Amino acid sequence: MDITQFSQINPPQRLLMGPGPINADPRVLRAMSSQLVGQYDPAMTHYMNEVMALYRGLFRTENRWTMLVDGTSRAGIEAILISAIRPGDKVLVPVFGRFGHLLCEIARRCRAEVHTIEVPWGEIFTPDRIEDAIKRVRPRLLLTVQGDTSTTMLQPLAELGAICRRYDVLFYTDATASLGGNPLETDAWQLDAVSAGMQKCLGGPSGTSPVTLSARMEEVIRRRKCVEEGIRTDAHHDGVDEMVYSNYFDLGMIMDYWGPERLNHHTEATSALFAARECARLILQEGLDNTIARHKLHGDALLKGIMAMGLETFGDLQHKMNNVLGVVIPRGINGDQLRKLMLEDFGIEMGTSFGPLHGKVWRIGTMGYNARKECVMTTLSALEAVLNYLKFPTIQGAAMQAAWDHYCTGNPQ
C-alpha cells in the first residue's frame, strides 16, 4: 500500500438537507475536539453527571436514568429493547414506516412475540386504534416510533401513556428523528423509555444515543442484573430474570457505570459525550420550546416554497414532523439525476426514500444547525434552478416569494 495516497482528511463542503445526518453545529465539532481525560477523572464523572442533567431537560423528565449509549441512534433503541424484552414477551408495534419495521425486527431478535398494526405510509394511528390492539393483544410492551423519517410522519403520543398504564403496558418511543424539533414530554406522557439520536434535530454527529428510563423500566431491567466476573465482589447479586442477550447493551450495567458505583463497563466515548453535552447545552440555552418553534418555522417555510413551486407533497401534512418534508418526484423527472445535480453543482444534499417510496419521493430536512433561513432559501432556489434545467416548469419567483411571505408572517421579529 502506498500510504502517500491517503491525504489529510478534507471532506467537501456540503449543505446537508436530507433526513439526517445534517451539518453539525461548528460549536459542537469544536467541543468534540477537546483533549481527553481519564474515564474516572473527577472532571469526567462531573461531565457525565452534567450530561444526565442536560438530557433530563431535553427529554422533559425527572428520570434518574437519563444517559448515553455509545453507538449510533439504533444502539439506543436496541439497548432498551434487548434489556426490557424477555424471550417470549408479547410486544405491540404500530408500524407506519421503516423504523416501525426496525422495532419489529429487533424485538424478533430478542425472541419476542411480535404483534403489529399497520397504516399506509404517510398516515398515523389514532389512540383508539392503538387501544383496541392493546386490548386484543395484551402486550407487555408498546413499541412506537415518534417521528419516522421514512414517511415524515409524527405519531401523536400524548394520550398513549394513560392507555398503557390502564393495561399495565410498558411504553417506549424511538425519538431519534424527532427530539428537539417536535414536542416530546417524557413524564407528562408517561413514557417508560425513550431513545434519541444526535444527527437530526440535536445538531451533532451520530455516534452516541441519549436514552431515558422511568423507575418502572428500571425495575424491569434490574430484575435481569448481572455483574461481570473479574470485577464482581461478594456484595453483588444477580437478578431473577433471564440474562440479557447483550453485554454491551445491558442497561443494568450501563446504569452501574453512570451511577455512583461507577462499575467499569465500556470506556465511555469521551469525544462523543463532549459533543452530546454541547448539543444539549446549546438547545437549552436557546430554550427547548424556541428550538422546536424554530424547526416549525423553517419546516413550514420550506413547505410553502415547495408548494408554490408546483410540487406535490407526500403524506398527511397535519401530522408531519417539523423537520422533514416528503416531496413527490414529478412525472418525467429522474429523482436521482436531480439529486446528483443538486449535490455536484450546488453542494446540497437531498434525501432519497426507502421501500414503497423509493424512486417516488425526495425527502428534504430542515433540522438542527440547518433549521436556518439561509439553508431553506438556498435549497429552494437551487431546487427550482435544477427543476427548470430538467424542463419542469415553475412560475418564476413564486416559490421564493412564498417562503419570504412565510418568514414575514410567521416570524414577526
Asked whether position 62 contacts a copy of itself by CB under 8 A, the answer is: no
- Provide the angle, in degrees to the nearest 10, between the axes of the packed helices 270-286 and 42-59: 40
The cell for 382 is 437551487
Asked whether position 33 contacts a copy of itself by CB under 8 A, the answer is: yes
Nearer to a copy of itself, 96 or 189 (CB): 96
CB of 408 to a copy of itself, least distance (A): 31
Is residue 273 within 8 A of residue 68, CB to CB? The reply is yes
Asked whether position 237 contacts a copy of itself by CB under 8 A, the answer is: no
Asked whether position 397 contacts a copy of itself by CB under 8 A, the answer is: no
Our separate counts of H helices and E strands in the chain read: 13, 13
In single-letter form, the type of residue at position 289 comes to D
Pick the piece of the chain touching a copy of itself (CB under 8 A) from 155-163, 203-211, 303-311, 391-399.
203-211
Pick the piece of the chain touching a copy of itself (CB under 8 A) from 68-76, 129-137, 307-315, 389-397.
68-76
Of residues 165, 187, 246, 378, which one binds a copy of itself by CB under 8 A? Answer: 246
CB of 58 to a copy of itself, least distance (A): 11
Asked whether position 295 contacts a copy of itself by CB under 8 A, the answer is: no
CB of 302 to a copy of itself, least distance (A): 18
Asked whether position 96 contacts a copy of itself by CB under 8 A, the answer is: no
Residues 272-291 that bind a copy of itself (CB under 8 A): 272, 274-275, 277-278, 281, 284-285
* Binding footprint of a copy of itself, residue count (CB under 8 A): 98
CB of 413 to a copy of itself, least distance (A): 21
Nearer to a copy of itself, 47 or 314 (CB): 47
Asked whether position 251 contacts a copy of itself by CB under 8 A, the answer is: no
Is residue 404 within 8 A of residue 374, CB to CB? The reply is no
- Give how far Cα 215 sits from Cα of 61, 191, 220, Å: 11, 11, 9
Distance of CA 98 to the CA centre of its chain: 13
Nearer to a copy of itself, 55 or 407 (CB): 55
Residues 117-176 that bind a copy of itself (CB under 8 A): 150
Long-range residue pairs from 400-407, CB within 8 A, at least 24 positions apart, any chain: 400/305, 401/308, 402/304, 402/305, 402/307, 402/308, 403/301, 403/302, 403/304, 403/305, 403/308, 403/376, 403/377, 405/304, 406/300, 406/301, 406/304, 406/305, 407/297, 407/301, 407/373
CB of 60 to a copy of itself, least distance (A): 11
Nearer to a copy of itself, 128 or 242 (CB): 242
Of residues 120, 230, 260, 412, which one binds a copy of itself by CB under 8 A? Answer: 230
Asked whether position 231 contacts a copy of itself by CB under 8 A, the answer is: yes
Nearer to a copy of itself, 230 or 412 (CB): 230
DSSP secondary structure letter of residue 19: S
Q: Of the candidates 326, 332, 322, 331, which has an alpha carbon nearest to the alpha carbon of residue 307?
A: 326
Nearer to a copy of itself, 73 or 155 (CB): 73
d(CA 348, CA 320): 23
d(CA 325, CA 323): 7
Residues 362-391 that bind a copy of itself (CB under 8 A): none
| Complete DSSP assignment for 276-338 | HHHHHHHHHHH-HHHHHHHHHHHHHHHHHHHHHTTPPB-S-GGGB-TTEEEEEPPTT--HHHH
Residues 206-225 that bind a copy of itself (CB under 8 A): 206-208
The cell for 393 is 416548469
CB of 163 to a copy of itself, least distance (A): 26
Burial of 279 (0-12, 13-18, 19+ CB in 10 A): buried
Torsion of CA 198, 188, 98, 148, to 10 degrees: -60
CB of 205 to a copy of itself, least distance (A): 4
Is residue 408 within 8 A of residue 331, CB to CB? The reply is no
Residues 328-347 that bind a copy of itself (CB under 8 A): 343
Of residues 90, 223, 266, 372, which one binds a copy of itself by CB under 8 A? Answer: 266
Asked whether position 184 contacts a copy of itself by CB under 8 A, the answer is: no
The cell for 93 is 408495534
Nearer to a copy of itself, 108 or 138 (CB): 108
d(CA 99, CA 254): 25
Asked whether position 9 contacts a copy of itself by CB under 8 A, the answer is: yes
